Structure 1
């Protein structure tokens, strides 16, 4: 079973509009073409579809994504307008993926760059995990970890401690994917509880489809030496392999 994660397209209604380091629509098309060549079984779009908060930007994204030869799912990022996004395509929170289960979490906070699950969403996640012990992958926009860039770490998932505390009771959670950081990230994180003991979760960030952010930067900075990309995740039983691919634009 092959999954591909894409993230942070930051599209405009104007297909010729430029970002700081490129043309988002052109980058989006080129990354999507490379993704299709991977022959994925599922594509996951982990937020920040739009930059200009326009209905047309979501229509463009859906039109392009629907050319993929597989099912695809998206979730909102901090730049997204939820009503416009869901008018084009609804959000799906729970997806069967062979022997695995995918949970797509909405961490968006209205009008804020940072993310949060909040008590209601955390309680819902608790119920979801309590009801099913299949190997589980969680997909979200905001990083639940520090990625090493001070300005980005300040606008990650704000209630991450509560999130990790909840996951400590559910060893079936094996993988977490996030967007927002516009850079690759890969670590195995250990969490523990008295009842379950210690278990390990793979936590992975993904290059943006649009501009890349400079790793390790104290303040906002574009990484002009890096290229757009995507993450491949191959699932085999309860094990997995994952890596990042970059795309020349």
Structure 2
């Protein structure tokens, strides 16, 4: 049940419950591997965690890189799986959703990247009003590139949304707008991060947290007093604090988010080896 309404009510008396899933990297052939990892299998294992909490979760937010091979049939299969979970969901694109990566046998920096159009079911400039919070979803993907950029039209929309209300707000985006201290990955974050922070600066009191994907690892950074949280991948994980591309052996997982009626929040990570 893809979420298209602009509002959604919460199950719980005192908070709105979200599960963030990110960086699924699904292939057209579900038996295909990425760095030795079957991403369809790891996604299924993470989804089993979600199913265990089905009655407690208000919304699934998928923060990009859903398909490593961005074809309509790949998204059809993914959305059919999500429909079967029977929790409202919404998805935004990541770089792999608008880029076909070739030469995967080569080092990351030597691979070719071909631009493709995002699937029309992936959202940008989308606002969801819960009972007490506003959720703002942004597209940071750039066709044919691994880095991210939020265009000026989207930034104007964001500023307008932040100016038009005074409720607590959470922002969701694929690319982080902070450095994560992994040299190779910091080259592929949001290239206009300074512009993003300039736009949101007048509204820092509204923004309670920003949730991002892309980095395949847990992260918590604070910039201008705002918490920026990274999400583990449902596929393979990147080892933190590395100069070069390095795979971590830690299990895939999800981020859970509870947005409380009083404007506070709680969030954490759950992995498949903690079932």
TM exceeds 0.5? yes
Tell me if 1:111 matches 2:139.
Answer: no
User: Which consecutive residues of structure 2, in runs of 5 or more, have no partner in the other structure?
Assistant: 1-15, 99-115
Tell me if 1:161 matches 2:186.
Answer: no
Q: Which residue of 1 aligns with 2:159?
A: 126
Q: Pairwise mapping of residues 147-158 of structure 1 onto structure 2 (< 5 A)?
A: 147-158=180-191
TM-score if structure 2 supplies the norm length? 0.82
| Alpha-carbon distance, 1:120 to partner | 2.0
Q: Which residue of 1 aligns with 2:104?
A: none
| Alpha-carbon distance, 1:56 to partner | 1.8
1:63-109 deviation digits (Å, cap 9, x = unpaired): 111122321000000000374622xx352611112210111000011
SS at match of 1:79: helix
Contact 1:55 1:84 in 2 (8 A): no
TM-score if structure 1 supplies the norm length? 0.91
Q: Which residue of 1 aligns with 2:113?
A: none
Q: Which residue of 2 aligns with 1:196?
A: none
Tell me if 1:209 matches 2:226.
Answer: no
Tell me if 1:14 matches 2:38.
Answer: no
Q: Which residue of 2 aligns with 1:91?
A: 123
CA distance in 2 between counterparts of 1:211 and 1:99 reads 35
Q: How many residues align?
A: 237
Q: In structure 2, which of residues 66, 70, 87 is the aligned counterpart of residue 70 of structure 1?
A: 87
SS at match of 1:56: helix
User: Which consecutive residues of structure 1, in runs of 5 or more, have no partner in the other structure?
Assistant: 192-199
Tell me if 1:25 matches 2:40.
Answer: yes
Tell me if 1:186 matches 2:220.
Answer: yes
What is the CA RMSD across the aligned residues, in angstroms? 1.6
